């Protein structure tokens, strides 16, 4: 019954007292406990692991009360919740009670105020109870960026307590629209975090879960999001922008994908797009010819840009005093195509989810494959808004080229080779990893030298730039296994007082920082 996210020690301390800081998150209280439908033995089962986790040393506690926000004075049964907490407090040994020095109570209604009084009585607290009406207020007392706050607390913060923007008095660099390289370390780290999690889900058989029809429609058609998904995506995006500690299992597969799409599309709209459409200089291409396909793909991998402005605000990579002056998107493009390939494979296995009543599944699969490839094309295509009207036809031709190119790439994915070598696209890992990146750079440099010696056609595509400087980069991968984004995550406790939904108490505790 106990969830490790119900009560846990944070990675930070209370700034004023410098004591360890713990969190009690009521959104993970079992539904039966909240509604007082739980027998005494269940209360004991809940409290026993919490009591064993209570520290012997002095500590401070953050009480997140979003789990109580459904309950109003609409009925007398609503008054039973504090009684369960009183039963819990009675089980705390006296020596454990005296260890609690300070309590932060976040959000609140009349029940929460009553619970605070209970804390005073049973935990021997005096004035050291601090009420925070929202998460912004809490951030004025403690460093919440290091605390993995559950999504229900963010939802309650915005929808019930109307704190639409969590404001922290700290500067963070931008993450969207910037090249995904070591010059923009926060952007790279956050993209890698979401990418590795979604790819871990897509390529780990035991995590296999089918997406819903609406999820696939959103991925394929890029349509309007429902209110809940919009809110969750905004919460996830804001967390990434302030480098917030996260439990990514709070967010659905679709919400992961929308964030990745935002990274890619904003880059495509920038002055240095990830996929340079200028390489499609011919009026027609035979993308069915593997040699043509491979040649174009390798030209795309080698296309280089000058770095406009360095952004070195975080410590993802150790640069050893090297400065990046030029970069290419080769490694990230490989990863993006592997994402596309994984999605197309998943789509082929879930065609009946999209059109359950279809009689000819082969035609359905062909049609849906073309639709999802069209969505990939829209993500990567850079439509230059400055193009004159007379260039619209050329713009359409290049869009058509990119669509056909992506389509052929996914058909021939397992046979595409990299840099005139025997290494294939499928040989690279499904995650963004420093060792994988290092092998990519070594392969490129090795094949470039071999091409110069033999006079072969391998070369970089760029305007005049300085020679690349290589970096010593530590491992990007998290030490934790993937925190699977569920095809449809557990239901957030509704902010409506009539809801009977509850949070799933089996969510894993993988924390990505």
Q: Give the per-residue SS3 of 124-172.
A: CCCCCEEEECCHHHHHCCCCHHHCCCCHHHHHHHHHCCCCCCCCCCCCC
> Is there a single domain that holds both residue 222 and residue 336?
yes
Residues 105 and 197 in one domain: no
Residue keyed to tokens 């109003």: 72
- The CATH code of the domain that includes 17 is 3.40.525
First to last CA, the chain: 26
In a domain, 409, yes or no: no
- What burial letters (b/e) apply to 425-444, b meaning 16+ CB within 10 Å? beebbbbbbbebbebbeebb
Cα separation, 147 vs 132, in Å, equals 16
- Establish if 296 belongs to a structural domain: yes
What residues make up the domain containing 231? 185-381+416-454
Residue 81 in tokens = 């919740």
Residue at 1 is within a domain:
no
In this structure, is residue 344 part of a structural domain?
A: yes
Residue 468 is assigned to a structural domain of this protein: no
For the cut 50, the answer to whether the pLDDT of residue 481 exceeds it is no
Residues 257 and 115 in one domain: no
285/143 same-domain check: no
**How high is the pLDDT of residue 470?**
36
Measured distance CA(8)–CA(513) in Å, rounded: 16
Q: Considering the domain boundaries, does residue 93 fall inside one?
A: yes
State whether 197 and 271 are in the same domain.
yes
> Domain boundary at 125, 159, 193, which?
159
Q: How far is CA 378 from the centre of its chain?
A: 21
204 pLDDT above the threshold of 80: yes
**Do 200 and 103 lie in a common domain?**
no
Average pLDDT, the chain: 79
For residues 16 and 107, membership in a common domain is answered with: yes
Which range (111-125, 233-247, 323-337) has the least confidence? 111-125
CB 261 within 8 A of CB 189: no
Q: What percent of the chain has pLDDT over 90?
A: 42
Same domain, 129 and 263: no
- Domain count across the chain: 2
Distance CA 200, CA 206 (A): 10
119 and 201 share one domain: no
Nearest to 450 by CA among 441, 459, 440: 459
Give the residue-averaged pLDDT of 24-37: 78
Q: Which long-range contacts (CB under 8 A, 24 or more apart) does 70-73 make?
A: 70/34, 70/493, 70/494, 70/495, 70/496, 70/497, 70/499, 71/34, 71/109, 71/111, 71/497, 72/109, 72/497, 73/110
- pLDDT tens for 223-240 read 678 889 999 999 999 999
Compute the chain's Rg from CA coordinates: 26
- 111 and 197 share a domain? no
| Domain end call among 432, 454, 476 | 454
Mean pLDDT, range 59-76, rounded to an integer: 69
Q: Note whether 118 and 218 are same-domain residues.
A: no
| 419 Rama sector, left if φ>0, alpha if ψ -120 to 50, beta otherwise | left
Q: What is the pLDDT of residues 144-202, one digit of tens each?
A: 999 999 999 999 999 888 898 898 888 889 999 999 988 888 999 999 999 999 999 99
Q: Tell me, yes or no, whether 138 and 191 share the same domain.
A: no
Confirm whether 55 is domain-assigned.
yes
Domain membership of residue 23 (yes or no) is yes
Q: Which of 403, 429, 454 is the last residue of a domain?
A: 454
């Amino acid at each position: 019954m106990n969830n490790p996210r119900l009560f846990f020690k944070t990675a930070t301390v209370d700034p004023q007292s410098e004591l360890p800081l713990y969190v009690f998150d009521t959104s993970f209280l079992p539904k039966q406990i909240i509604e007082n439908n739980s027998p005494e033995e269940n209360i004991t089962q809940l409290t026993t692991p919490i009591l064993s986790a209570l520290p012997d040393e002095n500590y401070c506690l953050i009480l997140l009360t979003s789990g109580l926000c459904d309950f109003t004075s609409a009925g007398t049964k609503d008054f039973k919740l504090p009684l369960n907490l009183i039963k819990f407090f009675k089980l705390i040994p006296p020596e454990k009670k005296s260890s609690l020095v300070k309590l932060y109570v976040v959000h609140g209604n009349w029940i929460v105020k009553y619970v605070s009084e209970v804390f005073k009585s049973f935990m021997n607290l005096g004035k050291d109870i601090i009420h925070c009406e929202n998460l912004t207020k809490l951030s004025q007392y403690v460093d919440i960026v290091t605390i993995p706050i559950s999504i229900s607390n963010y939802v309650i913060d915005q929808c019930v307590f109307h704190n639409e923007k969590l404001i922290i008095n700290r500067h963070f660099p931008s993450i969207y629209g910037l090249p995904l390289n070591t010059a923009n370390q926060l952007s790279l780290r956050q993209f890698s975090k979401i990418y590795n999690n979604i790819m871990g889900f897509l390529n780990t058989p035991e995590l296999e879960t089918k997406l819903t029809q609406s999820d696939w429609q959103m991925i394929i058609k890029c349509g309007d999001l429902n209110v809940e998904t919009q809110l969750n995506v905004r919460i996830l995006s804001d967390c990434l922008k302030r480098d917030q500690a996260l439990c990514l299992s709070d967010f659905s597969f679709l919400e992961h994908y929308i964030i990745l799409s935002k990274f890619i599309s904003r880059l495509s709209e920038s002055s240095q797009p990830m996929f340079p459409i200028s390489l499609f200089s011919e009026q027609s291409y035979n993308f069915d010819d593997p040699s043509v396909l491979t040649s174009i793909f390798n030209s795309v991998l080698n296309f280089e840009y000058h770095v406009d402005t360095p952004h070195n605000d975080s410590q993802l990579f150790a640069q050893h005093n090297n400065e990046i002056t030029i970069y290419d998107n080769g490694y990230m493009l490989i990863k993006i195509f592997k994402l596309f390939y994984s999605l197309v494979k998943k789509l082929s296995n879930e065609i009946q989810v999209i059109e359950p009543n279809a009689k000819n599944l082969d035609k359905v699969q062909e049609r849906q494959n073309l639709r999802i490839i069209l969505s990939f094309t829209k993500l990567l295509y850079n439509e230059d808004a400055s193009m004159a009207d007379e260039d619209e036809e050329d713009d359409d031709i290049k869009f058509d080229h990119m669509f056909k190119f992506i389509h052929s790439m996914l058909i021939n994915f397992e046979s595409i080779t990299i840099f005139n070598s025997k290494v294939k696209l499928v040989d690279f890992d499904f995650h963004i990893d420093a060792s994988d990146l290092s092998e990519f750079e070594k392969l490129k440099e090795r094949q470039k030298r071999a091409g110069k010696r033999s006079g072969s056609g391998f070369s970089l595509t760029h305007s005049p730039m300085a020679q690349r400087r290589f970096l010593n980069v530590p491992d990007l991968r998290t030490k934790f296994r993937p925190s699977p984004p569920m095809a449809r995550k557990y239901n957030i406790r509704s902010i409506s007082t009539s809801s009977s939904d509850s949070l799933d108490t089996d969510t894993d505790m993988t924390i990505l920082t």
